[in-house]
Structure 1
Amino acid sequence: MKTRPLFLAFTFGALVLTLTNCGGQKQDEHEHAATAEKEDEKTTPVSEPQFKVDATFQSQLSDFFTAYIKLKDAFVASDVEKVKAEASAADAALAKVDMKLLSGAAHNDWMTYLSPLQDALKEIQATTDLEAQRKSFRTLSDNFYKAVKAFGLGGKEAYYEYCPMAFNNEGAYWLSDQSKIRNPYFGDQMLTCGVVKETLK
């Protein structure tokens, strides 16, 4: 029974630390982002692809990554119509990724990721509710991360980034082409809230 006050104090302290890191004023937010970037330079793991795959497939996946980044940037801008347009462009880029260039376990894994990617892009295009679009973007990002980790982007770097406060503190990830945080789940509300968790090549 004596340990309960200590546990509660620790829990409260952790909550305050999280809120301070991402939920404070703009100045605190920028300071947090700068500190996080310095820490990430030392601690962010770098992951190589799991499979050796055809360079053409990696190039096509890289083209989809480019389209994904434009979609992510539309979320950063909180622009619903642009989000829909970029989701449509990303859908077209995804359709050009040729699964026939894969075989064996690599082909099976890609098929596992492909359907959720397609579904998420269709969901984003089907609504004008920005928060609903962002939920589908989270699903898109989670599955695209698995694909990039498995197959790589042919030498192009991707940064796997995380915001602990997204979706009522459930947390959410996304991919970026730069380590500088631009949060697609909050936009201007908390633009730099987040940290780089992993660098993918």
Structure 2
Amino acid sequence: MKKYIITFLFVLIGFVSTTAQSKSNPQLVKLYQNYLSVKSALASDDVKKTSMAAGEFLKTSKTVNAKMIAEKNLISLKTDATTIAQGKKIETQRKAFYNLSDIMIGLAKENKLSDKTIFVQYCPMAKGSWLSSEKQIVNPYYGKSMLDCGSVKSEIK
């Protein structure tokens, strides 16, 4: 009987920890969705669309509980999103996107941001990475001039 109780407890503990890890946080999921909008806007070379998408990202970042993200990363996300939202040139917006992407990649590795696979992609020409919800490369650093430059470096499931 003791053996069955111990086995049951191990199974229960495993289930609880798996359930806790697989739960996604709605604020972080929304942040990831906003990030994808910024990435898509950059890839389309549209400064205004990128500014609007970054504005939405910034709004969402202000709702994120500071306990979910290291304070320095949250501040950096807000700063980068502000730079992108206020950017008048696509080059300025893309420059801030490097750091924004690096932090979001870290968040994606530590948290469940999507029920689908998240692809970490990299452009050797830009020397920058970004997240994507699809395997196909749509490069935010060069837009239409080199839209398919890059490769999938890893997958986050």
Give TM-score, length-normalised by structure 2: 0.80
* Corresponding position of 1:59: 26
SS at match of 2:70: helix
* Equivalent of 2:145 in 184, 189, 192: 189
The number of residues matched between the two structures is 138
State how 1:76-87 maps to structure 2 within 5 Å. 76-87=43-54
Among 80, 93, 114, the alignment partner of 1:120 is 80
Instruction: Answer whether contact 1:183 1:191 (CA < 8 A) is retained.
Output: yes
Contact 1:163 1:172 in 2 (8 A): yes
Which residue of the other structure, out of 106, 119, 134, is the alignment partner of 1:178? Answer: 134
Match of 2:40 among 64, 73, 98: 73
Task: Give the CA RMSD over aligned residues.
Answer: 1.8
Question: Which shifted more, 179-188 or 147-156?
Answer: 147-156
The equivalent position to 2:63 in structure 1, one of 78, 93, 96, is 96
* TM-aligned CA distance change 1:54 to 1:115, over 3 Å: farther
Alignment of 1:17-28 (within 5 A): none
Matches within 5 A, 1:8-47: none
**Cα pair distance change 1:69/1:90, threshold 3 Å:** same
Partner AA of 1:89 in structure 2? E
Give 1:198's aligned residue: 154
The list of structure 1 runs, each at least 4 consecutive aligned residues, that deviate by more than 6 angstroms after superposition, is none
The one-letter code of the counterpart of 1:98 is: N
**Deviation of 1:53 (Å):** 5.6
Deviation at 1:54, TM superposition (A): 8.7
Structure 1: gaps (5+ residues): 1-51
| Superposition deviation, residue 154 in structure 1 | 5.1
**Structure 2 unaligned regions, length at least 5:** 1-19
In structure 2, distance between residues paired with 1:127 and 1:75: 12
Percent of aligned pairs with the same amino acid: 32
8 Å CA contact 1:182–1:192 kept in 2: the answer is yes
Partner of 2:8: none
More helix by share: 1
Residue 55 of structure 1: how far off its partner (Å): 3.4
Tell me: higher relative CO, structure 1 or 2? Use CA pairs within 8 A at least 6 residues apart: 1
TM-score (structure 1 length as normaliser): 0.64
CA contact (8 A) 2:124 2:150 kept: yes
The alpha carbon displacement at 1:140 in A equals 0.4
Deviation, 1:95, is: 1.9
